[in-house]
Chain A
């Protein structure tokens, strides 16, 4: 029986007797919960809602999830991701395969606060609180039988929910065949890069691996076991599309262009040598700490800050 299986069993027994299973669940068990969730097999509608300042972003997707991978269908296209691969069938079919033997680091900064048994969508589930020190960072509602996370709420540094991911029309153990066209989509193999441009640790996140990026850029992927982000260091000559409708993020270090989405946040800035783009699913307070540890926006951006402060 897996550790999650044991904790589920213990949790169920304990909860029946006392209603609540309190602390003593370690980060190791949290890793088991996340692993079981990654391995769970189901299909469902997944609704993701994020709040960035006054902006609310919502998206819903049809998801087929299986061991380590998932297929997301939209109107006429689909995307399959998992185990370092991503294959998309959209207007331009494309695939990426990352060659890496490195793995995400162990969870160190989070631990499970309390576990209670609940009913969610008429199913037996565990409500797991994920603590970052004294701060409640997330609440997970985990389906007892399949291990799928039915509902996940992530909190910002002020303890307010900033992202909710919920499953509905949940059908456990149901899988559909992979799209037949998948094998015909050309894939690009992405190799490891030996660069050490960025530090090994950023605001509690460990560097996992560095890869060659498009147009001579490089991608550094960081994770803390629960959240993750990539920083792309790109030549100053390169134009980066997709920030036309960005909002301004002003920190003590400078002005950044930010495009928040339901699932992640995208940040762009430039120092005197390079353009940088950060993409990740990190909470806002982590984002500010990470940006403070990265090269700050160049002086021309300071002019933009004053312009922004004066004229909005």
Chain B
């Protein structure tokens, strides 16, 4: 009986180490063999996985405010969006974001403004307008006001009519591969599991 308990205890440790990914090759072979042949080991394995899953399902605990940074985040938010935070910084920033509505709003605004900036079409004046501008500058003092006004109106009309076609090549592009990746990422959220800050 004592031997059995020792075996079960060892098995439990091995399975736990297996789930943590810290087994040696030899130990891994042993665990794989046991898991594929021993029903009791499989039951124990599922029990351990269930326990870990339950931990993941626990609501995230509120971090006591005195342990949180007193000041709001600034540059860290930008780095967070860019994925430039270090492994040590990421959980600190995430924890602060969970408890600080103000920083969450700043982060959302920052993200929206970036998207908006990225969505802006690149506006470059057509070449013929550049030539016209140079000509205008060179002869400015010699052109009567009425002609200048007419030229301005004509330029505005041309800009509105030709502009959309001239900037046709500047249209933003989205690839279906990107959209597909986004769908795959969202679809990988399992039922009843909150997204954590750990790697997948």
Contact = CB atoms under 8 A, between A and B. Distances in A.
Interface string A35-50: 1001100000000000
Given A189-B81, A212-B115, A238-B172, A1 B43 contact: yes
Contact of A241 (B175, B190, B192, B196): B175
Interface string B125-162: 00000000000000000000000000000000000000
Interface majority SS (helix, strand, loop, mixed), chain B: helix
Contacts of A189: 80-81, 83, 111
Interface size class of B (residues with CB under 8 A): 35 or more
Contact of A100 (B31, B112, B115, B195): B195
A9 B60 CA distance: 34
A127 to B, nearest CB: 20
Interface in A284-311: none
Interface stretch (A17-25, A131-139, A149-157, A216-224): A216-224
B67 interface: no
A150 to B, nearest CB: 14
A240 B83 CA distance: 26
A237 B174 CA distance: 11
A216 B185 contact: no
B120 to A, nearest CB: 9
Given A5-B46, A96-B181, A240-B174, A211 B186 contact: yes
Interface in A167-225: 171-175, 177-178, 182-183, 186-191, 208-209, 211-217, 219, 221, 223, 225
Contact of A219 (B42, B119, B182, B195): B182
Interface stretch (B4-12, B47-55, B68-76): B47-55
B58 interface: no
Contact of A242 (B177, B198, B199): B177
Which of B80, B118, B186, B196 has most chain A Cβ within 10 Å? B186
A279 B181 CA distance: 10
A106 B190 CA distance: 11
Interface size class of A (residues with CB under 8 A): 35 or more
A82 B200 contact: yes
Nearest to B198: A83
A137 B58 CA distance: 33
B189 A243 contact: no
A103 interface: yes
Contact of B181 (A35, A86, A172, A259): A86
Interface stretch (A51-59, A112-120, A227-235): A227-235
B178 interface: yes
Contacts of B186: 84, 98, 100, 208-209, 211, 219, 221, 228, 230
17 contacts: A35-B191, A67-B19, A67-B49, A81-B185, A82-B188, A85-B200, A103-B193, A189-B81, A189-B111, A191-B108, A215-B118, A215-B119, A215-B172, A237-B121, A239-B171, A264-B180, A279-B176
